[in-house]
Amino acid sequence: MVKRALELPGRKKPYLMAHRGNRVHCPENTLAAFQWALKDGADILETDLHLSADGILVCIHDATLDRTTDGSGPVAARTLSELKGISASYSRSEFANERIPTLDEVAAILPADVALALELKTNRFLEPAVGRQLVSQLRTAGVFDRTVLLSFHLDYLQAVQREAPDLPIGQISMTSPFPRKGVQLNGSFWPALLFNPFYARIAHKFGQATCPLDPTPDSRLKWYRWMGFDAILSDDPGATLVKMREIGWRV
């Protein structure tokens, strides 16, 4: 089966990817952050996946609760009911009622022309049953065809893709100046790209999409336009879209 790159009919490239929602104006990885990013005009919502103690896929970046919630300890040690009793306000009192959302809750607010980028954060995704669970939920929610999986760990991605060979996967790297073969999307931390300004062009020869790992991209947008990236990541998608239009990109 030919593995597809992520394409969004009717959406202009470069796609604007909201990093954990809009985490400038809202606590990251909350429904408030995702809804703000949608209002900003984001084409893709990026979030992170862990599993609760009772096996529910939840959207939180860290393996522990301490940084972004008023709870503590491992996410995996709490049931969904217990997690829902914890505020995900990131110590911002106006967001005290925000909770860690489930994958299903995020998929439910996704407009029909907006995609999901899901970063796999736990080695539980090496388990075939967990991969099947993720694929099944994406299909049931009607978002399978506009989802890409991301990870620093290629084995997590490959394990899930074995359950659904046409589900695109994306390799993230902090150090590599070269795109990896065998994936459908590549993204390296932006300083590594200084060593290879042709990163995107090389990836395109392999039929791959590209997005720099740079959640604060505004000062480098002209460079990314010259390099030819397919998507731009941002902590504040609305502000980034304004900057893109100022330089004649995405007008």
Q: Is 204 exposed, middle or buried (0-12, 13-18, 19+ CB in 10 A)?
A: middle
In the set 25, 50, 61, 153, the catalytic residue is: 61
204's enclosing H/E stretch is helix 199-205
**CB within 8 Å of 218: residues ≥ 6 apart:** 234, 239, 240, 243
The one-letter amino acid at 108? A
Residue 61 catalytic?
A: yes
Q: What angle, 0 to 180 degrees and rounded to 10, lies between the N-to-C axes of helices 31-40 and 237-246?
A: 20
Nearest to residue 194, comparing CAs of 214, 170, 215, 169? 214
- From 19, 25, 153, 204, active-site residue: 19
Q: Is 25 part of the annotated catalytic residue set?
A: no
Q: Does residue 197 have a cis peptide bond before it, meaning omega lies within 30 degrees of 0?
A: no
Q: Tokens 């002209």 sit at which residue?
A: 222
The residues carrying an active-site annotation are 19, 61
